[in-house]
Amino acid sequence: MMDHTTLFSLHGRTALVTGASRGIGQAVAVGLARAGANVVCASSAPGGADATRDLVEQTGRRGWSLAADLTRRDAVHALGAAAVEAAGRIDILVNNAGTIRRHPAVDFPAESWDDVMRTNLDAAWLLSQQLGAAMIGRGGGAIVNIASLLSFSGGVTVPAYTASKHAIAGLTKALANEWAGAGVRVNAVAPGYIETDNTEQLRNDPVRLQQISARIPAGRWGRPDDLVGAVVFLASPAAAYIHGHVLVVDGGWMAR
């Protein structure tokens, strides 16, 4: 029988969080550390995750700061290898890094499409494949992908982002189907409208801000900290029998 006093504990585990320099990634990295995990914090810019690493270490856990250009496959593989070299092993992978480009679909630049798909989808796939292999070998591990409300709907002027986030939801289910029997749990969290850099343009548009805000039953936009509990839960023993699930954290948006 499971010990309910340690149901949400991550003590003894090590996590890799991508996109950890700020926003959701930073909040999740610190939240995992508070739950007991050591955390490798990855950013796209050298030194970009140093502040997050310092916050992790302030909890009493070990932290590392790494950098990689996730649009390059060789850099993604190097990041996975460097994380294992630094921390010894990765028990929890949080594929959080993401980018967005806004253009009408008819004018959407190919370069923007490639940047979004490589960052949001390809990097998550490659890291999951690379680190998931070791998790399978050990008979356990957890991968938490960051999906989106646009894993379910189409959005406007964000075709690449929407396609990537639909694919993240599908990848989550596909990997869960193959890896659940090996003790590796693959799930996703789908944030609603959260106050981050990616939504700054929307929040600066008075019309879109009002339209979106009026539909959120909770009466406010989410904050990065609102995602922490969901990620910690899916990474913890409390989610031992949860596989291939996309957990929506949206202030009630999908219920309206």
Catalytic residues, by residue number, are 161
CA pair distance 124, 144, nearest whole angstrom: 10
Find the DSSP H helices in the chain: 23-34, 50-58, 73-87, 110-117, 123-138, 159-179, 200-203, 206-215, 228-235
Q: Is 17 strand, coil or helix?
A: strand
The rounded distance, in Å, linking the Cα atoms of 43 and 35 is 22
Question: How many residues are recorded in the chain?
Answer: 256
Q: Which strands sit side by side in the sheet containing 14-17, from one edge to the other?
A: 63-67, 38-43, 14-17, 92-95, 141-146, 184-191, 246-249
Place of tokens 């006093």: 5
Which residues lie closer than 8 Å to 6 by C-beta, 6 or more apart?
237
Contact 243, 138 (CB under 8 A): no
**CB–CB of 97/25 below 8 Å?**
yes
